[in-house]
Amino acid sequence: MSSNIKDKISRKYRIDSYDKMDAGDFEEIKYSNKTKVECICPKCGQKHKMNFHWIGRGTPRKYCPTCKGSN
């Protein structure tokens, strides 16, 4: 049996097996740990640290306390 046919059969089996699963089959992962993250204020460009959960790439853009308080 060629590898191309094996791949098609394997993909079909995986799709069929996913259809049989329900939401109870997966454990919910909760991330609640907050850490100090260095941020850059988009208004003034100042670097500051804030305590929140960040899993994104790069440096988060959050307003610093002085810019957040002013209008």
**Domain count within the chain:** 1
Residue 66, in any domain of the structure: yes
Residue 1, in any domain of the structure: no
Mean pLDDT of 15-36: 62
Residue 47, in any domain of the structure: yes
Mean pLDDT of 22-46: 77
Mean pLDDT of 26-39: 74
Which of the 8 DSSP states describes residue 4? Answer: H
Residue 17, in any domain of the structure: no
Residue 50, in any domain of the structure: yes
What percentage of residues in the chain have a pLDDT greater than 70?
A: 54
Residue 52, in any domain of the structure: yes
Range of the domain at 45: 32-71
For the stretch 38-52, what's the b/e string if a residue is b when 16 or more beta carbons lie within 10 angstroms of its beta carbon?
Answer: ebbbeeeeeebebee
Residue 54 has pLDDT above 80, yes or no: yes
pLDDT in tens, 56-65: 889 999 999 9
Residue 10, in any domain of the structure: no
Has this prediction a pTM greater than 0.95?
no
